[in-house]
Structure 1
Amino acid sequence: MQLFSLSFFLFFFLLNPTPSLSLSSDGLSLLSLKSAVDDAASAFSDWNEDDPNPCRWTGISCMNVSGFSDPRVVGIAISGRNLRGYIPSELGNLFYLRRLNLHGNNFYGSIPVQLFNASSLHSIFLYGNNLSGTLPPAMCQLPRLQNVDFSNNSLSGSIPEGLKKCKQLQRLVVTRNQFSGEIPEGIWPEMENLVQLDLSSNEFNGSIPDDIGELKSLSGTLNLSHNHFTGKIPKSLGNLPETVSFDLRSNNLSGEIPQTGAFANQGPTAFLNNPDLCGFPLQKSCRNPSRSSPEGQSSSPESGTNARKGLSPGLIILISVADAAGVAFIGLIIVYIYWKNRDSQGCSCTGKEKLGSTGRSALCSCLSAHSFQNNDSEMESDKERGGKGAEGDLVAIDKGFSFELDELLRASAYVLGKSGLGIVYKVVLGNGVPVAVRRLGEGGEQRYKEFVAEVQAIGRVKHPNVVKLRAYYWAPDEKLLISDFISNGNLANALRGRSGQPSSSLSWSTRLKIAKGTARGLAYLHECSPRKFVHGDIKPSNILLDNEFQPYISDFGLNRLITITGNNPASSGGFIGGALPYLKSVQPERPNNYKAPEARVANSRPTQKWDVYSFGVVLLELLTGKSPELSSPTTSTSTEVPDLVKWVRKGFEEENPLSDMVDPLLLQEVQAKKEVLAVFHVALACTEGDPELRPRMKTLSENLERIGS
């Protein structure tokens, strides 16, 4: 070791005949990194050897250590700069170095073994480079190592058995490398603190070790996808915590998917592209070759085949004809009952009228044009009346909700807001009940049936944290959605106030309540709603609050309705109840930084993982009090962070104090520190750049429910 250090200093003196003697030993070691990088002059412009210490250099953090007069280097964070070079072994001389973050560059070569002489290291982030070589077994000599992310490199070789010595390791991420071979058993029971394991997109083969099921601290996603694993899925994986999601896609696994423990919470996506897998939740059933024969003995597959061969072609045809006749007979009965019920409504047509290009429809109707329609047969008549030139109907989705269109049009109203999804009014009915009315505009008369089908699907969503759609109105020149009015504004105003300044009314318990309720509503939309909805635009302004700060998700399904109507509702004329065109809440359109990175690509198709990312950004805003929305120069405040996700991730990577990131208004609630940290971890899982690494909303909701309970 002494010889190694001496050789470095001789090298340094040869390059610098008249070096400054004032620079600390840590600074001299750091200069080796500058020397190892191409175009170092621009990348390390303020790394000056004449400084007494490197603590003011870009990317370097220091702290005072007892027994030393000079502060010592504890962090290196030089990421995302596309630097080309190698990692010098001299960094191992930084004995107090705790965090090494060089991700997002173009470092090549192997990871030097000497690096692990820096015995205080606990976080190493080298992902997104071009490093080669093997996984260094020496890293497990570090007594405090907790976080290792070597993903997106060119590392190869096998997983060393010595990995079991990394007893403090919490996160091991080596996805998108070239690792191969079988994963040895005996490693995982020793790694009792492991929270995240990602071995995806490599060349691993063989069977999945049974003892992976002993990772009791695991959370988030166990990702073994895109490898060459074979054999059956170990039942022991069911012993993992129920909040763990599996990703076993794109392997060569076979047999029946176990149904115990954590397997019960997995969706079909976790097992796709394994041609020989079968059983729930896949739609491919597993054949049972051991059916009992009449004698009580199990029959072989061959005997089953012979039995099937015993059916003559004539008998098969006869059975098929009988089945078809039975189905036709049942269908006739259903049609007869349907038309009999329709006739019993007292509605009859005397001719074969058709919709003309002008004038009013001659089709019969049981109810007036301004009445609610509450059954399916009447809805069919509505659909026919929806053609060009027809007068519209106000249609109730909730049968217990009744008023007439004239009452709606005469009621007092004022504008709540305006956006690309239409103008929203608050309308107070004659009985004093307020409703929210969204005006969608004038177009889309040729797609009435699509519109009705979509509205009916939205209307079937019933959850205490989702705004309830009560009725709708359709006419060629007007389309309205009537829903519950939520009395306390939205989360955006609650966080920032109507003036854009921070609000002091949201305590930590209230914010946690809002987070939990929103997660429950989104999980319902994703998992339990009739359409398995994707919201596509989760942000604080779409989370409404009542007087008890209970959250309600609004505006889901509207993008599809706007597409059907095919126009810009915000530019349409007309006002309800004489409401003045005073749009107090109108704001100029801003870039939507709540959207997932993949959602910002033109013509991309919405997915549930979009909503997960957006929900994560909302959580970060609840935690930090900072908005990710870009403002105009005249309204910019210190509460805005253009990329909130990167800002928080950088804070955690550099181990900044929690007080530097959390909303100052929450610092008074000291007892909530553990809960705040737990929600930060949930938010960071939501905002993973790779959509496949983001958990399902069901899992996130369950994790949030445990916090503070």
Structure 2
Amino acid sequence: MSLRPCFFLLLFFSSSVAVQVRLSAALSPDGLALLAFKFAVAADPGAALAAWDEGDADPCLWPGVSCAAVPSFSYPRVVAVSVPGKGLTGYIPSELGSLSFLRRLNLHSNSLSGFIPPQLSEATSLRALYLYSNNLSGPVPPSLCDLPRLQNLDLSGNALSGAIPARLGNCRQLKKLILSDNRLSGEVPAKIWPQLSGLMQLDLSRNNFSGPIPPDLGSLRSLSGVLNLSHNAFSGEIPSSLGNLPPAATLDLRGNDLSGKIPRVGVLSNQESTVFLDNPKLCGLPLLSPCKDPSAAPPTWHRSSPLSYSDQGEDQARRKRLKPGKIIIIAVADAVGVAVIGAVLVYAYWKLRLTSRGGCSCSRKTKLGREEAGGNEPCCLRCFCFSPPAAAPSEEGPNSDGAAAEEEEGHLVAVDKGFSFELDELLRASAYVLGKSSLGIVYKVVLRSGVPVTVRRLGEGGAQRRKEFAAEAQAIARVRHPNVVRLRAYYWSSDEKLLVSEFISNGSLAAALRGRSGQPAMPWATRMRIARGTAQGLAHIHECSSRKFVHGEIRPSNVLLDGEFNPHISDFGLRRLVHVAGVFDGGGAVLGRGNGYLPPEAQQAPVGKPTQKWDVYSFGLVLLELLTGRTPELSSPCRATTLSSRPPSMDPAELARWVRKSFEEERPLAELMDPALHREQEAKKEILSVFQLAMACTELNPESRPRMKTVSDFLENVGRR
């Protein structure tokens, strides 16, 4: 009788062992490690892990799990785990470190808490670790620095504390390190940054770091994004060695306790004032606070008046006060004087010739709005822009006074000294309609000399703002660069405003990207020539004067190409001229309406004043279209059948998001770039560098985007290092 209980007990243990043996035999070791993560999740509101079933023989079919065949194993091994943004709560178990072939662990944007397990360093194949936007706490495990292949580490948006481990220098393959928005503190370790020669992005912002900025951060020669040290407690002077950073790098040092004079060397000399804001003890350019010279003698006083400075001090103060005023007076006098003198001379000249003018000589005498855009039938510009007489008027005819009065107030002002023509020649020349937009109609006009020009009619109205229009046109005409379309003349009257520019013969970049019949796809060298030239022209617009010009309408249709595919930026200053002229353009001429190339901050109400960072974002989208071959016109289901990995339709902003996501997921470069470039294997390094630059230009945060001069310098160095 006493043996019966022992028998049943032995039978129970035997059954349990058998169940465990069957479970182990059904699921691979990688699957058991993943089940440990599922059991560590306390809440799964979206049922993201519901299909992770211990009864499955292959975890590779589970959502969020990717596998690959390994020659030395009879079963596929887990290489990626991606469960982002599912609202998971719980902790990260140490068992995930047993996934020895794991390359990418992506658990960002959840609510996971607890420490980061140091055992993750045992997953020696790990290349990308994305744990940002969780509730993780504790220190950054020093053992993570022992991962030999780690390239991307993003732990931002958590509650991590402690210091940066000094063993970080062991991550020799690291390209992206983001530790922002945590509670890290202490001094940033020095002597480790020269070992991270491949680091392209470093973000330590919004922590509690203190002490000096390590000078050897200037040794990050591969940096192409933002070196973000903002909103910490860094103190001391800015190391001049930061000027050794590559031209593509952008700094952000806001919100610290830095002091002293800002070094004007290398990259530091090209930064905007916003980079150094909220550092009250900083001085020097580009800030407006001058540095005090400790060696200067104290001011002397008049014996007769203890409250007055010496004559020398008064002279210096007076010069400082008058310097901005002189600049303003000179600028206004230059613009207004040239416009007024030119307008008076042209008015006097043409008033004498009005009686000799005839009517419109072309057969199609139609008013503006009746012609079809793109028509091949030529007509004189007068027929397009002015009402033709109903019949040959006599001197006493009823229409003669009205026509003369309309043309008497017209003024053609040449702003290009190397090019001259008469108003009558312009109005009688053959004109072809090139296209229409909300900003008027564009014509190709062939002058008597055979030289073609482009004429844009802005619209009707705005009779009281001639001086403002003239001053703005003169300012735009002074912007001269080989990659910017040159304004040659303008015509102003109460009813008509015309802009005369040089004609660029080979169409727009938008048309070239769509492809033309009989023409092969553009090679990489041509695309780089277009990118470099456009960047140079845009940088010149930004830097050519103290006014800080902004284009505001950068897109492929505004980049014109000549016969050798050199780019020319068109429509510079057009929005400003329309605003100053006060014309009625029929389309509202609202900045940003229907323009998918503007950044997010330009598409939110209320829309602020355009900035140069807008142009940088738009240029980044143009770069992405050059790289991918994707344009809004090509984003159709038919096009998607040949590029199955790409979305069936993308506007420019969607293209930027898709490229950024593809890089995070480490997709092959061949899936991103234009198939026409697949044959150019020798250019893949250049293509990758330009992709990185385009993503830096299209950062959502305007302060994270580089300056256009920095972008231009980077493109000049691509392929020449």
CA–CA distance in structure 1, aligned partners of residues 714 and 216 of structure 2: 24
When residues 470 and 63 of structure 1 are mapped into structure 2, their CA distance, relative to the original with a 3 A threshold, is same
- CA shift, 1:507, in A, is 0.9
Contact 1:595 1:610 in 2 (8 A): yes
- CA shift, 1:516, in A, is 1.0
Residues 366-386 of structure 1 show CA distances to partners (whole Å, capped at 9, x for unaligned) of: 332699xxxxxxxxxxxxxxx
Residues 22-53 of structure 1 show CA distances to partners (whole Å, capped at 9, x for unaligned) of: 44332343344445263355434665555543
Q: Does 1:312 align with 2:321?
A: no
Q: Which sits farther off after the overlay, 441-450 or 94-103?
A: 441-450
Contact 1:62 1:75 in 2 (8 A): yes
CA–CA distance in structure 1, aligned partners of residues 60 and 595 of structure 2: 37
Out of 405, 420, 425, the position equivalent to 1:402 is 420
Residues 587-640 of structure 1 show CA distances to partners (whole Å, capped at 9, x for unaligned) of: xx9954322222221213322222212211211111111225696889988674
CA–CA distance in structure 2, aligned partners of residues 31 and 421 of structure 1: 62
Q: Which residue of 2 aligns with 1:427?
A: 445
Q: Which residue of 1 aligns with 2:11?
A: none
Indicate the SS of the match to 1:477.
coil
Out of 333, 348, 357, the position equivalent to 1:366 is 348
- CA shift, 1:503, in A, is 6.8
Residues 379-404 of structure 1 show CA distances to partners (whole Å, capped at 9, x for unaligned) of: xxxxxxxx999722111111222223
Q: Which residue of 2 aligns with 1:595?
A: 598
Out of 602, 609, 616, the position equivalent to 1:605 is 609
Q: So what's the TM-score if we normalise by structure 2? A: 0.78
Out of 131, 134, 142, the position equivalent to 1:129 is 134
When residues 431 and 106 of structure 1 are mapped into structure 2, their CA distance, relative to the original with a 3 A threshold, is farther
Q: Which residue of 2 aligns with 1:118?
A: 123
Out of 83, 93, 97, the position equivalent to 1:92 is 97
When residues 76 and 592 of structure 1 are mapped into structure 2, their CA distance, relative to the original with a 3 A threshold, is farther
Which residue identity does 1:598 align to in structure 2? Answer: E
Matched length: 629
Q: Which residue of 2 aligns with 1:621?
A: 625
Q: Which residue of 2 aligns with 1:8?
A: none
Q: Which residue of 2 aligns with 1:470?
A: 488
When residues 600 and 400 of structure 1 are mapped into structure 2, their CA distance, relative to the original with a 3 A threshold, is same
Indicate the SS of the match to 1:159.
coil
When residues 276 and 390 of structure 1 are mapped into structure 2, their CA distance, relative to the original with a 3 A threshold, is farther
Indicate the SS of the match to 2:126.
coil
CA–CA distance in structure 1, aligned partners of residues 571 and 246 of structure 2: 34
Out of 573, 586, 592, the position equivalent to 1:557 is 573
CA–CA distance in structure 2, aligned partners of residues 61 and 130 of structure 1: 26
Q: Which residue of 2 aligns with 1:158?
A: 163
Out of 264, 271, 294, the position equivalent to 1:266 is 271
CA–CA distance in structure 2, aligned partners of residues 20 and 323 of structure 1: 86
Indicate the SS of the match to 2:295.
coil
Which residue identity does 2:504 align to in structure 1? Answer: I
Q: Which residue of 1 aligns with 2:530?
A: 514
- CA shift, 1:85, in A, is 4.8
When residues 459 and 665 of structure 1 are mapped into structure 2, their CA distance, relative to the original with a 3 A threshold, is same
Note the 1:282-431 alignment, pairs <5 A: 282-291=287-296, 304-305=298-299, 307-308=300-301, 310=303, 312=305, 365-368=347-350, 391-431=409-449
Residues 293-317 of structure 1 show CA distances to partners (whole Å, capped at 9, x for unaligned) of: xxxxxx5xxxx24x23646269869
- CA shift, 1:83, in A, is 4.8
Contact 1:461 1:530 in 2 (8 A): no
Indicate the SS of the match to 1:179.
strand
When residues 133 and 439 of structure 1 are mapped into structure 2, their CA distance, relative to the original with a 3 A threshold, is farther
CA–CA distance in structure 2, aligned partners of residues 247 and 323 of structure 1: 34
Residues 316-342 of structure 1 show CA distances to partners (whole Å, capped at 9, x for unaligned) of: 699979999xx9xx9xxx9xx99xx99
- CA shift, 1:468, in A, is 0.8
Contact 1:26 1:53 in 2 (8 A): no
Indicate the SS of the match to 2:616.
helix
Q: Which residue of 1 aligns with 2:717?
A: 706
CA–CA distance in structure 1, aligned partners of residues 494 and 581 of structure 2: 10
Note the 1:3-82 alignment, pairs <5 A: 22-35=26-39, 36=41, 38-39=43-44, 42-44=47-49, 47=52, 51-81=56-86
Indicate the SS of the match to 1:466.
coil
When residues 633 and 221 of structure 1 are mapped into structure 2, their CA distance, relative to the original with a 3 A threshold, is closer
Residues 177-210 of structure 1 show CA distances to partners (whole Å, capped at 9, x for unaligned) of: 2222222333334434333222122221222223
Contact 2:231 2:256 in 1 (8 A): yes
Q: Which residue of 1 aligns with 2:242?
A: 237
Out of 504, 513, 518, the position equivalent to 1:495 is 513
CA–CA distance in structure 2, aligned partners of residues 76 and 322 of structure 1: 68
Contact 1:423 1:569 in 2 (8 A): no
Indicate the SS of the match to 1:168.
coil
CA–CA distance in structure 2, aligned partners of residues 82 and 652 of structure 1: 24
Residues 417-444 of structure 1 show CA distances to partners (whole Å, capped at 9, x for unaligned) of: 2222322121222222111111211133
Contact 1:255 1:276 in 2 (8 A): yes
- CA shift, 1:221, in A, is 3.0
- CA shift, 1:56, in A, is 4.2
Contact 2:103 2:127 in 1 (8 A): yes
- CA shift, 1:517, in A, is 0.8
Q: Which sits farther off after the overlay, 689-698 or 55-64?
A: 55-64
CA–CA distance in structure 2, aligned partners of residues 277 and 318 of structure 1: 30
When residues 652 and 119 of structure 1 are mapped into structure 2, their CA distance, relative to the original with a 3 A threshold, is same
Contact 2:530 2:565 in 1 (8 A): yes
- CA shift, 1:514, in A, is 0.8
Q: So what's the TM-score if we normalise by structure 1? A: 0.79
Q: Which residue of 1 aligns with 2:681?
A: 670
Contact 2:347 2:409 in 1 (8 A): no
Residues 228-257 of structure 1 show CA distances to partners (whole Å, capped at 9, x for unaligned) of: 111222233334445533322221111122
Out of 465, 478, 482, the position equivalent to 2:500 is 482
CA–CA distance in structure 2, aligned partners of residues 57 and 347 of structure 1: 76
- CA shift, 1:547, in A, is 0.9
RMSD of equivalent CA atoms: 4.0
- CA shift, 1:490, in A, is 0.7
CA–CA distance in structure 2, aligned partners of residues 700 and 147 of structure 1: 23
Indicate the SS of the match to 1:604.
coil
Residues 327-363 of structure 1 show CA distances to partners (whole Å, capped at 9, x for unaligned) of: 9xx9xxx9xx99xx99xx9999xxxxxxxxxxxxxx9
CA–CA distance in structure 2, aligned partners of residues 322 and 171 of structure 1: 50
Which residue identity does 1:683 align to in structure 2? Answer: A
- CA shift, 1:447, in A, is 3.3
Counting aligned pairs with the same residue, the percent is 57
CA–CA distance in structure 2, aligned partners of residues 597 and 105 of structure 1: 25
Q: Which residue of 2 aligns with 1:653?
A: 664
Residues 525-558 of structure 1 show CA distances to partners (whole Å, capped at 9, x for unaligned) of: 1222463222222211111111100011112222
CA–CA distance in structure 2, aligned partners of residues 70 and 702 of structure 1: 50
- Which runs of 5 or more residues in structure 1 are unaligned? 1-11, 292-298, 349-362, 372-386, 573-588
Residues 280-300 of structure 1 show CA distances to partners (whole Å, capped at 9, x for unaligned) of: 333322222224xxxxxxx5x
- Which runs of 5 or more residues in structure 2 are unaligned? 1-15, 354-404, 644-648
Contact 1:140 1:163 in 2 (8 A): yes
Q: Which residue of 1 aligns with 2:693?
A: 682
CA–CA distance in structure 1, aligned partners of residues 680 and 307 of structure 2: 81
When residues 486 and 637 of structure 1 are mapped into structure 2, their CA distance, relative to the original with a 3 A threshold, is farther
- CA shift, 1:116, in A, is 2.7
Q: Does 1:526 align with 2:508?
A: no
When residues 400 and 678 of structure 1 are mapped into structure 2, their CA distance, relative to the original with a 3 A threshold, is same
- CA shift, 1:674, in A, is 1.6
